[in-house]
């Protein structure tokens, strides 16, 4: 069967992202403890887990902003330890937890610089802004002249501007109000599907993870403690840790249903 979006046939193409027995320690303490994870091409993964569980560390290793003490990380089958990290980063869209826009450039320049450096080409900045719900008027401002949520949208537009196949987002919706958050989540999922991306989204919001992702990976204390589809999670098939985390959205949904009666 052929579909519009390029999808890998299992067993043929290399997975978009693969961690093999990855350990990362800081001062003897494991931020990641022998983590193995494979993300197939075209899949949308939500990475959840409490603060300090190792989510950002995992993403940073994929982009070689950090290096493992043990194990290896492969992007499209290639070990990121070999090769040029700059070339690697030009292939991966990355949204930082703290956004990290260039303060002295306009918003439009922040979006345009990536493709210019990576491919020497210009992109349609107006469309890139529009895709994340911003306008050309926002593009003319400096990042500091935008709200936190608007800056986060620019971060997403900037990551997408280089036309990556792999998109890594570290809590990109942290400073957004719930309505915008929901809208931008849908936008992200739509772009994931239409561009045939492989996406890893770090989020603290279990509802968001369940509603947006094909697969939810849950971390705790540097290990993966659950890895399942949203449906499996909701059917209680993902283990005790997943059930504990799911208890909160379940209880909230039940309380809302009660109030509505
Ligand atoms: N540069 C560093 N030096 C020392 N410890 C670090 C460093 N970076 C991360 N850690 C530790 O590694 C662990 C994992 O951190 P990480 O940032 O990956 O967590 P996280 O899951 O992203 O948390 P959050 O949800 O708060 O962003 C934490 O205990 C953190 O304190
Ligand atoms: Mg983090």
pLDDT in tens, the chain (261 residues): 333 444 445 556 889 999 999 999 999 899 999 999 999 999 999 999 999 999 999 999 999 999 999 999 999 999 999 989 988 888 899 998 777 889 999 999 999 998 888 777 788 899 999 988 899 999 999 999 998 888 989 999 999 998 999 999 999 988 788 888 898 899 899 999 999 999 999 998 898 999 999 999 999 999 999 999 999 999 988 899 888 888 888 888 899 999 998
What residues pack around ion ligand 2 (CB closer than 5 A)?
56
Q: Is 52 in the pocket of ligand 1 (CB under 6 A)?
A: yes
Supply the residue whose CA is at minimum distance from atom 7 of ligand 1.
Answer: 26
Report the nearest atom of ligand 1 relative to the CA of 32: 14
CA angle 212, 164, 207 (to 5 degrees): 10
Between CA 226 and CA 49 the distance in angstroms is: 10
Check: CB of residue 77 under 8 Å from CB of residue 20: no
Q: Which helix (H) or strand (E) holds 48?
A: strand 44-48
Q: How many angstroms does the Cα of residue 174 sit away from the middle of ligand 1?
A: 17
Between CA 96 and CA 155 the distance in angstroms is: 8
Q: How many CB atoms lie within 10 A of CB 75?
A: 23
Q: Is 57 in the pocket of ligand 1 (CB under 6 A)?
A: yes
> Could you tell me the sign of the dihedral formed by the alpha carbons of 52, 31, 89, 8, in that order?
negative
Partners of 99 in the β-ladder: 96
pLDDT of residue 12: 67
Spatial strand order in the sheet of 223-228: 92-95, 166-170, 198-202, 44-48, 215-220, 223-228
Supply the residue whose CA is at minimum distance from atom 18 of ligand 1.
Answer: 54
What is the pTM assigned to this prediction? 0.90
Q: Is 63 in the pocket of ligand 1 (CB under 6 A)?
A: no
Q: How many angstroms does the Cα of residue 99 sit away from the middle of ligand 2?
A: 12
Between CA 201 and CA 213 the distance in angstroms is: 8
Phi, psi of 218, rounded to the nearest 5 degrees: -110, 130
Check: CB of residue 141 under 8 Å from CB of residue 106: yes
Question: Is 204 exposed, middle or buried (CB count within 10 Å of its CB: 0-12, 13-18, 19+)?
Answer: middle
Q: How many CB atoms lie within 10 A of CB 35?
A: 25
Residue 217: strand, helix, or coil: strand
Report the nearest atom of ligand 1 relative to the CA of 171: 27
pLDDT of residue 120: 76
Cα 52 from chain centroid (whole Å): 17
Q: Which of 67, 64, 125, 112 is nearest to 91 (CA)?
A: 64
Phi, psi of 256, rounded to the nearest 5 degrees: -60, -45
Euclidean distance between the first and final Cα of the chain, in Å? 46
pLDDT of residue 10: 54
Spatial strand order in the sheet of 78-79: 29-39, 17-26, 70-75, 78-79
Which tokens in the block code for residue 1?
């069967």
Q: How many angstroms does the Cα of residue 57 sit away from the middle of ligand 1?
A: 6
Check: CB of residue 35 under 8 Å from CB of residue 19: yes
Supply the residue whose CA is at minimum distance from atom 5 of ligand 1.
Answer: 26
Q: Is 184 in the pocket of ligand 1 (CB under 6 A)?
A: no
């Amino acid at each position: 069967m052929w579909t519009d979006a390029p999808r890998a046939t299992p067993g043929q193409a290399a997975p978009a992202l693969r961690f093999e027995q990855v350990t990362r320690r800081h001062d003897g303490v494991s931020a990641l403890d022998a983590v193995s994870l494979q993300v197939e091409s075209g899949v949308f993964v939500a990475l959840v887990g409490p603060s300090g569980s190792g989510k950002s560390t995992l993403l940073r290793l994929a982009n070689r902003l950090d290096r493992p003490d043990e194990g290896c990380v492969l992007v499209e089958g290639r070990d990121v330890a070999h090769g040029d990290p700059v070339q690697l980063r030009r292939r991966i869209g990355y949204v930082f937890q703290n956004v990290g826009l260039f303060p002295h450039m306009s918003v439009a320049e922040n979006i345009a610089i990536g493709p210019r450096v990576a491919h020497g080409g210009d992109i349609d900045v107006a469309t890139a802004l529009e895709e994340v719900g911003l306008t050309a008027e926002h593009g003319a401002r400096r990042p500091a002249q935008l709200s936190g949520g608007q800056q986060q949208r620019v971060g997403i537009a900037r990551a997408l501007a280089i036309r990556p196949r792999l998109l890594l987002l570290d809590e990109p919706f942290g400073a957004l109000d719930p309505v915008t958050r929901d809208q931008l989540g849908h936008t992200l999922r739509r772009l994931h599907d239409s561009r045939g991306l492989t996406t890893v989204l770090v989020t603290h919001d279990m509802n968001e993870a369940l509603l947006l992702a094909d697969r939810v990976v849950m971390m705790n204390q540097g290990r993966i403690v659950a890895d399942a589809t949203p449906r499996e999670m909701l059917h209680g098939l993902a283990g005790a840790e997943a059930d504990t985390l799911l208890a909160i959205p379940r209880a909230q949904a039940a309380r809302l249903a009660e109030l509505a009666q």
